[in-house]
C-alpha cells in the first residue's frame, strides 16, 4: 500500500508568481484535502476534493484553487503569490468525504521571496 506522495518537496518563488503543487493519494482513498502550515503553527484547512469537485473550503482567497483527477490525485494552485504564502503545504487523503482519519504526505515547502 503506497502512502501519500507530494511534489516538489521544496521550491522558491518570488512575489506575484504562480505555483502548482501535486499530490498522489494513498491507495484506496478517494478524497484529498489540502492544508497550509505556517512555521510554528498547526495545519490550516484550505479545501477538500471529492469526486473531482471542491467539497468544502476554509478561509482562503480564490487565488488558492485546486483540481482532482480521475485517479484521485490532486493539484493545489496558488496565483499572485504573497510573502505570507510561505509555508509547508500538506496534502491528506482519506477513504471518503466524511469524518475520516487523514493520512498526510510529507509536504511541499514553499518559500516566497
Partner 1 sequence: GQQLNQSPQSMFIQEGEDVSMNCTSSSIFNTWLWYKQEPGEGPVLLIALYKAGELTSNGRLTAQFGITRKDSFLNISASIPSDVGIYFCAGPPSGTYKYIFGTGTRLKVLA
Q: How many CB atoms within 10 Å of residue 2?
A: 9
44 sits near partner 1 (criterion: CB under 8 A): yes
By CB under 8 A, residue 59 contacts partner 1: yes
Q: Is 85 helix (H, G, I), strand (E, B) or coil?
A: helix
Q: Does residue 87 touch partner 1 according to CB under 8 A? A: no
Q: Which stretch binds partner 1 (CB under 8 A): 12-20, 36-44, 64-72, 74-82?
A: 36-44
**Only segment of 12-20, 68-76, 79-87, 101-109 that touches partner 1 (CB under 8 A):** 101-109
User: Per residue in 14-48, is it b (16+ CB within 10 Å) or e — as a string?
Assistant: eeeeebebbbbbbeebbbbbbbbeeeeeebeebbb
Rounded Cα gap, residues 102 and 5, in angstroms: 14
Figure out which of the listed residues 20, 30, 86, 97 binds partner 1, where binding follows CB under 8 A: 97
φ/ψ of 83, rounded to 5, equals: -55, -40
- 41 is a contact residue toward partner 1 (CB under 8 A): yes
Q: Which residues contact partner 1 (rule: CB under 8 A)?
A: 4, 33, 35, 41-45, 48, 56, 58-59, 90, 92, 97-99, 101-107
Amino acid at each position: 500500500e503506497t502512502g501519500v506522495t507530494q511534489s516538489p518537496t521544496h521550491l522558491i518563488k518570488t512575489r506575484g508568481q504562480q505555483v502548482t503543487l501535486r499530490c498522489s493519494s494513498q491507495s484506496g482513498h478517494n478524497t484529498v484535502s489540502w492544508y497550509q502550515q505556517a512555521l510554528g503553527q498547526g495545519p490550516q484547512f484550505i479545501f477538500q476534493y471529492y469526486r473531482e469537485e471542491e467539497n468544502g473550503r476554509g478561509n482562503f482567497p480564490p487565488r488558492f484553487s485546486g483540481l482532482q483527477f480521475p485517479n484521485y490525485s490532486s493539484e493545489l494552485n496558488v496565483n499572485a503569490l504573497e510573502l505570507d504564502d510561505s509555508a509547508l503545504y500538506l496534502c491528506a487523503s482519506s477513504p471518503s468525504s466524511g469524518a475520516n482519519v487523514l493520512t498526510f504526505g510529507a509536504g511541499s515547502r514553499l518559500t516566497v521571496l
